[in-house]
Structure formats: structure tokens, C-alpha cells
């Protein structure tokens, strides 16, 4: 786009400190366009109109186009978007927005559809070190003339703890330098060791949005780790969410769902463990609830897996929604609403079993082995197909035997 001088409106989204504003400034410089910077949380409609009017005058008098850069565009109001959209569409101003949130959820659809989306990823530790080395060596904008010496293990601390946020790493460097570095250094020297670096950055920043992508991405990673029987990965994602302040009840609810969806009858105790964990989280709370969540996550990770119950209900729902409705067979209907007669052989007082067609409900407890050849659906369908994992293997064998005996007795009746 830059080489062709065909800059279109764009939205830069990604975590803090990944260079969204810097990239916008570079685009403006490279394209020789006027760069106007505003923050979407504080700019008003009046100011937007002024920028658009100035851009129109500039284009007419000087032939120069304008780039309008709006930081935190997720705070952009509807009225501001309505004012900006027509001029963005006809190219009077080139819009560049920056946000730490997912623009598909946080920005007006009309604005997104007129923009190219670019996601910026967190900087790698090596890239963070490169930024820091340049800041230390730069005599004009950095500490090139300040006699600063930073040990490599101090660099490692910043590169890891800033979590890909170059701005946070540079702030830590500035704090370390302004505080004079490690004590006991020769006059005029500022030496930053590991201990000083730890003090300058303190706690590692948690890059996590409790309502945005981080919220859904990390719970997804934990669930998929448990499904993949990896307790180590599950424990990391669990810790990451708890450290960022995620609601432990949200995590517990997802574990209960997973226990049915991904473990099912391969280990029927899984749902009991998950439900018990949910109750403990509700009654005890944090920080102790972290132990219970870890116990449940470890158990569910190592439990045998089956989604047979999940697939069974989904297949049945598909048939109910899409297929022809199956009528309840007369002999299975409520005896109070069906024209039936009493059959004392049923073993149940007042149980009506025979309908007008002569077909009877067969009472299982009066049948040898407790199994009849009765058809309970009226159509030939098999929804539940148990796997051979864990306890479901025994269920699979039992179900196969039941189906065999039912077909045999149905054929002989």
C-alpha cells in the first residue's frame, strides 16, 4: 500500500505497547500526508468537523491529503462515526484507528467495512531487547551520554515481565536509570543489575480483558488443553486467568460443561467432580478456590474422554428440527389421555396398556430379564453410540446386548 501510495483507511488492533501509534506515524511520514492525531475518548463532533474542513481546504490549496489517527477507537461514539463516515468513504481523509480490543466487536460495522484490519502481535523478548539496546545507545533520545550499563540478566527480566509491551519495558528502563541504578557504583556510572531491574518493573503485567478476546481465548485454551489430556497446559491457562482476575465461577461453570461434553460416560464421576468444584468455588471463593479448580482441572484432564452423549443429543435435535415429527406410539401415551383398557398383568395398579389398535404396552418388570422387544420410538434410529473409552466401554457392551435381545424378541413376538 505504501509503495503504491494507495493508503486506505485502516484499523490497527493488538495489545498495548506493540507499536500501533508508531506504525500510524510511519505510514503518514512515508506517504507524505499530514498527520492529525486525536484520542477517541476525548474528541468531540465539533473537532472532527474542524479536522474534515481543514483536510478539505488543504487538499484544495496544497494537494496534500490528511491522515486522521484516532487512538482508542473502541470509545468512538455513534455521533462521531456518523460525522466521519461520509468523508472517509469519499477519501477526503484517510482514517487510521488503534485499539486494544477486537474491532469486530467494539467498532461500528460501517467503519470496519471501510477499513483494512491489521492485528499487531506482542513483541518477542528478542525484539524488546532490541528496543532497549537502542534506547540505551541513542545519544539524542536515549541514554547514550549518561554512562548507563545494563547487565544482560536485567534485560532478560524486562523482556519477560513486560509481556511484549515495549512501552512498559522502556518505562522500567527509565525508572531504573532515574533511580541511579545499583548502589555502590563508581561516580558517573549507572549500572543496572537484575535486582534493580526487578524493582523497576515490579509485578508482571497481565494482558487480559475480562470481557474481550483474552477472556474467551484463554478459557478456550484451557478447555482444549483438558480435552487434549494435557494437565500442564490446563494448569498454566487456569493460573493465567486467575492471576488476571477472572471470575472463578466462570471457570467452574465451563468445567461443568466440559465434564458432560468431552468426558461424559467415559468417566461418570467427572461431572460429579466438576459440580463439586463449582459448589466449593461458590461457597469458599478466592484465593482458596484456586486449589479446588486446579484439582478439578487435573482430574478432568486425565479422565478418559467421550463426546458420545453430546453427539447423541445433537443428532436427535437435528432430527427434531429438520425431519418429520415422530408421533408418540399409542401404547406409550399418557393413559389418562389415550383410549385404552386396563391390563392387570401390568403389575401396576390402574396402568392402562392396551390401545384401540390392539397393540399393548409391555411392562418390563413382568418380563424375564426385565427386557422386552418393545419399540419405544416408532422409527429405526440409533443416537447414542458409546465409545470404548473408560467406563463407557462397559456401557457399549451392555447397549449392544440390549439392542440384540430387543431385535430378537421383537422378531419372535
pLDDT digits (tens, 9 = 90+) for 367-409: 777 787 777 787 788 888 888 999 889 988 988 888 888 888 8
Query: What residue spans in the chain does CATH classification 3.40.50.300 cover?
Result: 10-119
Average pLDDT of 159-176?
90
pTM, two decimals, is 0.58
Query: What number does CATH give the domain 10-119?
Result: 3.40.50.300
- Cβ atoms of 96 and 21 within 8 Å: the answer is no
Among candidate residues 279, 195, 267, 168, the one with its CA nearest the CA of residue 226: 267
d(CA 246, CA 296): 17
* The C-alpha cell that represents 48 in the structure block: 472532527
pLDDT class of 210 with cuts at 50, 70, 90: low
- How far from chain centre, in Å, is Cα 255? 15
Q: What is the 3-state secondary structure (H, E, C) of the chain?
A: CCCCCCCCCEEEECCCCCCHHHHHHHHHHHHCCEEEEEECCCCCHHHHHHHHHHHHHHHHHHCCCEEEEEECHHHCCHHHHHHHHHHHHCCCEEEEEEECCCHHHHCCHHHHHCCEEEECCCCCHHHHHHHHHHHHHCCCCCCCCCCEEECHHHHHHHHHHCCCCHHHHHHHHHHHHHCCCCCCCCCCCEEECHHHHHHHHCCCCCCCCCCCHHHHHHHHHHHHHHHCCCHHHHHHHHHHHHHCCCCHHHHHHHHHHHHHHHHHHHCCHHHHHHHHHHHHHHHHCCCCHHHHHHHHHHHHHHCCCCCHHHHHHHHHHHHHHHCCCCCCCHHHCCCCCCCCEECHHHCCCCCEEECCCCCECCCHHHCHHHCCCCCCCCCCCCCCCCCCCCCHHHHHHHHHHHHHHHHHHHHHC
Average pLDDT of 343-350?
44
**pLDDT at residue 356 tops 60:** no
pLDDT digits (tens, 9 = 90+) for 51-102: 888 988 888 888 888 889 999 888 877 777 778 888 888 878 889 999 988 8
**pLDDT at residue 44 tops 90:** no
Query: What residue spans in the chain does CATH classification 1.20.272.10 cover?
Result: 213-302
Q: Which fold has domain 213-302?
A: Zinc Finger, Delta Prime; domain 3 (1.20.272)
Query: What number does CATH give the domain 125-201?
Result: 1.10.8.60
Q: How many CA atoms lie within 13 A of 232 on its CB side?
A: 0
Query: What residue spans in the chain does CATH classification 1.10.8.60 cover?
Result: 125-201
Average pLDDT of 362-369?
80
The pLDDT score that the predictor gives to residue 339 is 52
Scanning the structure block, which residue is given the C-alpha cell 436427535?
A: 316
The pLDDT score that the predictor gives to residue 353 is 47
Lowest-pLDDT choice from 98-107, 125-134, 259-268, 363-372 = 363-372
Average pLDDT of 33-38?
88
**pLDDT at residue 280 tops 90:** yes
Amino acid at each position: 500500500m505504501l509503495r503504491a501510495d494507495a493508503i486506505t483507511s485502516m484499523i490497527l488492533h493488538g495489545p498495548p505497547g506493540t507499536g500501533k501509534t508508531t506504525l500510524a506515524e510511519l505510514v503518514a511520514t512515508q506517504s507524505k500526508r499530514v498527520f492529525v492525531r486525536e484520542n477517541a475518548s476525548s474528541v468531540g463532533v465539533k473537532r472532527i468537523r474542524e479536522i474534515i474542513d481543514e483536510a478539505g481546504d488543504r487538499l484544495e490549496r496544497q494537494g496534500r491529503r490528511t491522515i486522521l489517527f484516532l487512538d482508542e477507537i473502541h470509545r468512538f461514539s455513534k455521533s462521531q462515526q456518523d460525522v466521519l463516515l461520509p468523508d472517509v468513504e469519499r477519501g477526503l481523509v484517510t482514517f487510521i484507528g488503534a485499539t486494544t480490543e477486537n474491532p469486530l466487536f467494539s467498532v461500528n460495522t460501517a467503519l470496519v467495512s471501510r477499513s483494512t484490519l491489521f492485528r499487531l502481535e506482542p513483541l518477542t523478548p528478542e525484539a524488546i531487547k532490541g528496543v532497549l539496546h537502542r534506547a540505551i545507545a541513542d545519544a539524542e533520545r536515549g541514554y547514550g551520554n549518561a554512562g548507563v550499563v545494563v547487565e544482560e540478566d536485567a534485560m532478560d527480566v524486562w523482556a519477560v515481565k513486560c509481556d511484549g509491551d515495549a512501552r512498559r519495558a522502556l518505562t522500567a528502563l527509565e525508572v531504573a536509570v532515574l533511580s541511579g541504578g545499583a548502589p555502590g557504583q563508581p561516580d558517573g556510572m549507572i549500572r543496572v543489575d537484575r535486582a534493580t531491574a526487578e524493582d523497576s518493573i515490579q509485578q508482571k503485567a497481565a494482558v487480559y480483558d475480562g470481557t474481550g478476546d483474552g477472556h474467551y481465548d484463554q478459557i478456550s485454551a484451557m478447555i482444549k488443553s483438558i480435552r487434549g489430556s494435557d494437565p500442564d497446559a490446563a494448569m498454566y491457562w487456569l493460573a493465567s486467568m486467575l492471576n488476571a482476575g477472572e471470575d472463578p465461577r466462570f471457570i467452574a461453570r465451563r468445567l461443568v460443561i466440559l465434564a458432560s461434553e468431552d468426558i461424559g460416560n467415559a468417566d461418570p464421576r467427572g461431572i460429579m467432580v466438576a459440580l463439586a468444584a463449582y459448589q466449593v468455588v461458590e461457597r469458599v471463593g478466592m484465593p482458596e478456590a484456586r486449589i479446588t479448580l486446579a484439582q478439578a482441572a487435573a482430574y478432568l484432564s486425565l479422565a478418559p474422554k467421550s463426546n458420545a452423549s453430546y453427539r447423541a443429543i445433537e443428532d436427535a435435535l437435528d432430527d427434531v428440527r429438520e425431519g418429520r415429527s415422530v408421533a408418540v406410539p399409542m401404547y406409550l401415551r399418557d393413559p389418562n389421555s389415550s383410549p385404552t383398557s386396563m391390563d392387570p398383568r401390568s403389575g401396576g395398579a390402574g396402568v392402562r396398556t392396551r390401545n384401540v389398535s390392539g397393540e399393548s404396552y409391555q411392562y418390563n418388570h413382568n418380563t424375564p430379564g426385565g427386557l422386552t422387544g418393545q419399540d419405544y420410538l416408532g422409527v429405526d434410529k440409533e443416537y447414542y453410540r458409546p465409545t470404548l473409552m473408560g467406563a463407557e466401554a462397559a456401557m457399549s457392551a451392555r447397549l449392544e446386548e440390549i439392542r440384540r435381545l430387543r431385535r430378537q424378541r421383537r422378531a419372535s413376538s
